Structure formats: structure tokens, C-alpha cells
Amino acid sequence: MAAVEGDDSATTGGSTLGYALLSLLTRGPATGYQLTQQVKAPLGHFWTARHSQIYPELARLAAAGWVDSVEQAGPGPRAKKTYAVTPAGLAALRAWLVIPPTAQPRSEITLKAYAATSADPTAMAALYTDLADRSTRLLAEYEHDAARMRAVGQDDPTHPRFGNYAVLMMGVESQRAVHRWARWLASCLRTGRPAAYGETAD
Amino acid sequence: MAAVEGDDSATTGGSTLGYALLSLLTRGPATGYQLTQQVKAPLGHFWTARHSQIYPELARLAAAGWVDSVEQAGPGPRAKKTYAVTPAGLAALRAWLVIPPTAQPRSEITLKAYAATSADPTAMAALYTDLADRSTRLLAEYEHDAARMRAVGQDDPTHPRFGNYAVLMMGVESQRAVHRWARWLASCLRTGRPAAYGETAD
DNA sequence: GCCCACATGTAATCAGTTACATGATTCT
DNA sequence: AGAATCATGTAACTGATTACATGTGGGC
């Protein structure tokens, strides 16, 4: 319930994780455990969080008045808490959404490519061949999910779960990009000579 | 120098940042200051680090015997140290390079898209239109750099700086992916109706 | 009886950012 | 005289992972 008098939410400018949880809760009320499951897909392709990070963050959101919770008797020693977004929480989320993000991407596989010439070419080529294979599998999986979503009209921006579709489409684009790049790089390292894009047949 | 008796390097399994610095140092010896500059491009498109993180990490690498340093008189109150990779450091780097990476990507802009329906559609469409514009500019920049590199034969996998070219090509692929996705998403949010890929003309 | 799913928390550690701190040289 | 570049470090804090800790109910 958290009936606080002073509005902390103005001073407490939430963390990115906090907004991620609010986004998940706009789909409907959930427990910390359920949020841990829901963050896995499709959001998990571009954002992850463990339960050990989620539970304290939910407590902070509740203290700020951005979510409230109802307690039921839980299976374990502690009570089970179901969280829901408050109007203040939704307002905070809406304000955050339209701020242009600045965070740089971090890609370990690209970092390894930077030092490609220091490694054994055969082993390195295998690494990028495996990556290309993995992206093929992921792409098939994502496109299958996307087709299912289109079938139920989730590609319509007025659908309440349109965001799931948008994230999935980013997954499709990303994996296509990774696939082309990894195939090209593997080809370069395998042959020891420059390869042009498109030269690497599928 | 760091003439340690026991080989710490086996137990001290380095951090990702450590390997990133070793990768940079394979281009030639450098000071901490130079590494902070060099990490900006092209590696900075996919990996960043501030000087406050680099200096302590260089000290750890030196303690592990993976780099050594020579001191010169510096401009400030402290001595300037130029670092170089040791054979042990190169071996550690080579071992790390061929391990398949597991780290998930994190994309704040995709997270925001997940909650797109909670925001004002006009403001949200503007966000992704701006992103599409930014990716256009970055793409032009990256392709210009790539053309310069090809002109000097840096697209050859035997060229010592081939890694710079490989990272840049990932930048090209990524920005193309972001561009297509952002244009599609902006179109969806602007019109309020589903848009297919390719429908959004450039 | 054992493993799995449900369910919630804390502690220790690692990674990364922001801010503090110093001081020489060169350009405008 | 002031700003920018060169140059190196530390401290405080935030973000995220790994590991510790507890306990129920259901299926094999």
C-alpha cells in the first residue's frame, strides 16, 4: 500500500531496471517470481535481470509509490506479493520513455574480432561459423514467434502487447546483421583473403 | 618488470576489460592515456572504458605479468608509463579469444520499444525517427572509414589492423539493422497501423 | 526419497560511472 | 590570462552477478 505523504518519486529518479519492471507490469499485475520469468523473452534478448536484482528493485519502486502490492499466503516461509503499477508509476514510465537513450552497446564477440589476427585463424573461423549457425537458429525461432504474433494481430501498434512484437523485430534485424557479419568474417579468416559482402553464399 | 616467482596469471583469469586492453596493446606499446583515446574508435562502437577503469586494470595486468611497463618523466607529478604485452599476456589473450562469448546484449532503445504503447505515439514516433536519422549519419561515417581502410589493404585478414576493419563492418551491419527497424517502428507509431518491412521508403 | 517448480529474500563480489585531485606544456 | 591537451591516479557510488538461505507442494 505504501501511503507515503511526501512524493519521493520526484527526487528518486528511477533506474533503468525500475522502468523495465514498470514496462512488464503494464501487461498486468505480477509477482517478483513471475517478473523473473517474463523478463526472459522477448525482452531478455535485449535486457536481462536476475531475481536477486528484481526483488530489491520492486521494494524501491513500492517505496517511491510507483507500484503497490497485495500479499497472499505463499508456499515458502514468506508472503507472496503481487505488484501492480500505480498512476504515479505509469506517469513516470511515460516520462522516461520519450527521453532519448545514450547508453552504448557492448558486444564481446565484436571485441574478440578486434583481436582476430592475434588468434589461431582456424579456431577463430570456427568461432564465427558457430556464431553464424546460432544466429540462423535464433532467426528461425524469432521469425516463427513473429508469425504467431501477426496471426493474432499483435503487429498492430494499438495492440496492448505490440511492444513484444517490436522487440522481436529488433531481434530479427539483429540476428540477420550478426549472421551476415559472422559469415563474412569466417570466410575471411578461413581463406586468409579479403571477402566482399554477398560473396559468402548461404 | 614485475619479476614474480609464482605464476599468478593461471589463477588470476583476467577480466574482459583486461583482454580488451591486451588487444589494444597488440597494436603497439601505449600509455594509459593513449589507451583511453584508442578505445574510442572503432572499438568504442562496441566497447567503452574510462581512464578511471583503465589505470587500475593496467596495474592488475602488470601484477599478473601480462604486460610490462617502462617509466619516463611525465608532464604531471607522476611518471609516464608505457605498457607493452608480454609473451604470457599474448598467450592469455589467444586462449581467451577462442572461447565462445556468452554475454547478452543490452539495448535501452529496444527496452523503450517494449513499452511503446504506454507512451504518447507522436513523441515516441519522433524518438525513433531521430534514431533512424542518427543511424544514417553513423552509417555514412562508418562506410567512409571502411572505404579508407580498404584503400590501404586493411580488409585483408593478414593485415595487422584487420580487426579494426572487422569491428567497423559490424558497425555498418548494426546501423543498417537499427535504421530499418527504427524506420519501421516510427512508421507504425505515426500511422497507428501495422507496417510491413520495405513499405517504409527512404 | 529426490528433483523440480513456486516463491522470496540477503550477502559478497565484480564491473563501471562520476567526481575529486594534481600538475606541466602549448595554443589563443 | 585562460583553455585545451597530456598524463596519472583515487574515492564514492551505482549496477549486476554469483552464491547463500529457506521452505512448500507435486510428480516420478
What's chain B's Rg over C-alpha atoms? 22
Within a 10 A sphere around the Cβ of B78, how many other Cβ atoms? Answer: 9
Does the pLDDT of residue B138 top 70, yes or no?
yes
State mean pLDDT over B113-122: 98
What is the arrangement of strands in the sheet containing B67-72, beginning at the earlier edge strand?
Answer: B30-31, B80-85, B67-72
On whether the CB atoms of residues A93 and A85 are closer than 8 A, the answer is: yes
State mean pLDDT over A91-110: 95
On whether the CB atoms of residues B184 and B197 are closer than 8 A, the answer is: yes
State mean pLDDT over A152-177: 98
DSSP A8: G
Q: Is the peptide bond before B100 cis (omega within 30 degrees of 0)?
A: no
The tally of CA atoms less than 13 A away on the side-chain side of residue A190 is: 13
On whether the CB atoms of residues A38 and A54 are closer than 8 A, the answer is: no
Give burial (CB, 10 Å; 0-12/13-18/19+) of A10. Answer: exposed
pLDDT, position A104: 86
The residue written with cell numbers 586493411 in the block is B154
Average pLDDT of chain B to the nearest whole number: 93
Q: Residue with CA nearest D11 C1'?
A: B52
Cβ contact A102 with chain D strand, < 7 A: no
Give burial (CB, 10 Å; 0-12/13-18/19+) of A50. Answer: exposed
SS (H, E, C) A135-162: HHHHHHHHHHHHHHHHHCCCCCCCCCCH
- In percent, how much of chain A has pLDDT > 90? 86
Q: pLDDT tens-digit profile of B160-188? A: 999 999 999 999 999 999 999 999 999 99
Per-residue b or e along B150-159, where b marks 16 or more CB atoms closer than 10 Å to that residue's CB: eeeebbbbeb
Cβ contact B32 with chain D strand, < 7 A: yes
3-class SS at A134?
helix
Per-window interface: A 50-89 vs B, CB < 8 A: none
pLDDT, position B74: 83
Does the pLDDT of residue B2 top 60, yes or no?
no
pLDDT, position B168: 98
Q: How far is B67 from chain A (nearest CA, A)?
A: 16
Question: Element (H or E) spanning A189, and its range?
Answer: helix A162-191
Total beta-carbon pairs less than 8 A apart between chain A and chain B:
232
pLDDT, position B6: 42
pLDDT, position B200: 56
The tally of CA atoms less than 13 A away on the side-chain side of residue A152 is: 11
Does the pLDDT of residue A114 top 90, yes or no?
yes
Query: pLDDT tier at B201 (50, 70, 90 boundaries)?
Result: low
What is the arrangement of strands in the sheet containing A80-85, beginning at the earlier edge strand?
Answer: A30-31, A80-85, A67-72
pLDDT, position A34: 98
Does the pLDDT of residue A2 top 50, yes or no?
no
| Residues of chain B contacting residue A169, judged by C-beta atoms under 8 Å apart | 181, 184-185
3-class SS at A104?
coil
Cβ contact A122 with chain C strand, < 7 A: no
Determine contact: A199 vs chain B, CB below 8 A: no
Closest Cα partner for A29 from A67, A88, A84?
A84
State mean pLDDT over A58-83: 96
Cβ contact B62 with chain D strand, < 7 A: no
Q: pLDDT tens-digit profile of A125-163? A: 999 999 999 999 999 999 999 999 999 999 999 999 999
On whether the CB atoms of residues A176 and A163 are closer than 8 A, the answer is: no
Question: Would the CB atoms of A43 and B178 count as touching at under 8 Å?
Answer: no
User: Distance between terminal CA atoms of chain A?
Assistant: 57
Phi-psi region of A198 (alpha: psi -120 to 50; beta: other; left: phi over 0): left
pLDDT, position A197: 77
Cβ contact A106 with chain C strand, < 7 A: yes
The residue written with cell numbers 528511477 in the block is A14
Question: Would the CB atoms of B114 and A23 count as touching at under 8 Å?
Answer: yes
Determine contact: A25 vs chain B, CB below 8 A: no
Give burial (CB, 10 Å; 0-12/13-18/19+) of A124. Answer: buried
Does the pLDDT of residue B1 top 90, yes or no?
no
Q: Residue with CA nearest D9 C1'?
A: B55
C1' (C24) to CA (B197) span, angstroms: 57
Q: Of the given ranges (A98-102, A171-175, B11-15, B119-123), which has the lowest mean pLDDT?
A: B11-15
Residues 161-180, chain B: which have Cβ under 7 A from strand D? none
| Higher pLDDT among residues B9 and A151, named by residue | A151
| Higher pLDDT among residues A200 and A43, named by residue | A43
pLDDT, position B197: 77
Closest Cα partner for B68 from B91, B90, B84?
B84
Cβ contact A17 with chain D strand, < 7 A: yes
- In percent, how much of chain B has pLDDT > 70? 92
Cβ contact A193 with chain C strand, < 7 A: no
Taking CA–CA distances from B44, the nearest residue in chain A reads: A104
| Residues of chain B contacting residue A130, judged by C-beta atoms under 8 Å apart | 100
Residue among B107, B126, B150 whose CB faces A105 most closely: B107
